[in-house]
Structure 1
Amino acid sequence: MLRTVRLLALLLILLLGGVWAYAWVTRSPGESLTEAFAARLSGLAGGQVPTALPTPGGIVPQGSQLGGSFSLTDQSGHAVTEGSFAGRWMLVYFGYSFCPDVCPTELGTIAAAVDAMGAAGEKVTPVFISVDPQRDTPAALADYVSRFHPRMQGLTGTPEQVAEVARRYRVYYAKVQRPEMTDYLMDHSSFIYLVGPDGRVRLLFRPEMKPEDIAAATAAQIGAGRRAG
């Protein structure tokens, strides 16, 4: 009986953690994290989630400006900013190289999506931003991202730089040290961000979306941007 209670408690904690992360990503300017959390929790009970519009290709941020300026270091050890990617589309994922399952899966999805776009994929730079700068040095990232796609960029930085870019993208992350573990894990949100040439997020892709769906939605956004230009 005690074991069942502990399992249910763990599942509840994981559920609330997921809702908290989603609230962090999708809250509007001026909306406190507590307010956003309450609204998303209400959504689970049948209420509305007003700050994000679901579409067949992902989530369109509503009333919030995700993305923007940052200052990080790439896998070659060079300082980069949002200006380093100006005029290009990006598929961005936040994670860490010691991640046992989710990160490799989502990075593989990004790589497959970029390749599935064919010529349009050449306009998209896949980007992996580490939330574990303590272990993810430029050299470690150079080895890691090379396993997924030859054009994937691995970015890291100081803890302060990582915290700032995570704040701009509303990314949740936290170190998890369990008593039975000799090393730590990083708990983090797991959205893929489609970033436009202006550095702003155009779409959020939920975890476990199919590469072909991400490819189609990304190609549609690129085509719309070309027509608008």
Structure 2
Amino acid sequence: MRTKNKQPLSPERRRLRRFGVVVAACFVLGSLLGYGGFYWASHAGRGALVSAEGNPVGGNFRVASMGGSIVTEGEFRGSWLIVWFVDPRCPAQRCMPALKRLDSVAARLHQEGHSVSPLVVSLDATAPNTDDLQDYVMNNAPHTVPAYASQSMIEAMTDLYHAPLTKEDGYYIPAPSFVVMSPQGRYAASVPTALDEESLMRRLHAVITP
């Protein structure tokens, strides 16, 4: 039986094939490096996870958004970042008032033309479903960004931001202060979460517009 001779590929077809191989290789390599970088950034020692960058409180970090993308402090440059740590298992009567006050004040500051970004980081790295955090925050504080992290990152970040990591009655107690970072990434203030809304508004207004 006679076999059909293969026609040689044209130069254009060869270029396209080489291009496809290169793209596929880059995709695989990028995926491996991305996963490796995320794993390393989430499980390395404290010095490799976070850095104070000269701040007495606060500094850089890597957390995950509800969509799974990585969020760093650099993405908030140009905006006043307000960081708070809370466990979505925290009873509503204990933690929800502070969350709602923060969100309401942030919305009011936005209306005044100030760029403010409240970031709430979950203290519970073992939560089986991130929907718990999303529901906890977004259903009650729509102007606030919820985020979660690995246990190693939570330990490093709470230490950096001077927040407790103490369990009580089956959940981690909320941080007693909102940590305010300037648009340049410098520590600006720690504001008690127990302040009522008007007091919180005055305090943050004084920090943002000295």
Shorter-chain TM-score bucket reads 0.5 to 0.7
From 115, 119, 132, the equivalent of 1:127 is 119
The structural deviation recorded for 1:138 is 3.5
**Residue 92 of structure 1 aligns with which residue?**
83
Q: Which runs of 5+ in 2 are unaligned?
A: 1-53
RMSD (Å), alpha carbons? 2.2
SS in 2 for 1:161: helix
SS in 2 for 1:126: strand
Q: Give the TM-score taking structure 1 as reference length.
A: 0.61
CA shift digits 1:177-215 (9 cap, x unpaired): 6xxxxxx22234321222211233312122320212222
Report sequence identity in percent: 23
**Residue 190 of structure 1 aligns with which residue?**
176
SS in 1 for 2:134: helix
The farther-off stretch of 91-100 and 213-222 is 213-222
The farther-off stretch of 142-151 and 94-103 is 142-151
Partner Cα distance (2:113, 2:97) in 1: 19
> Number of aligned pairs?
156
Code of the residue aligned with 1:155 in structure 2: it is A
The structural deviation recorded for 1:93 is 1.3
**Residue 99 of structure 2 aligns with which residue?**
107
Contact 1:73 1:138 in 2 (8 A): no
Partner Cα distance (1:141, 1:121) in 2: 28
From 163, 173, 176, the equivalent of 1:171 is 163
Partner Cα distance (1:197, 1:136) in 2: 34
Contact 1:71 1:80 in 2 (8 A): yes
Partner Cα distance (2:163, 2:194) in 1: 17
From 131, 143, 152, the equivalent of 1:139 is 131
Code of the residue aligned with 2:119 in structure 1: it is V
Q: 1:174 to 1:74 in 2, by over 3 A?
A: same
Q: Give the TM-score taking structure 2 as reference length.
A: 0.66
**Residue 154 of structure 1 aligns with which residue?**
146
Q: 1:137 to 1:196 in 2, by over 3 A?
A: farther
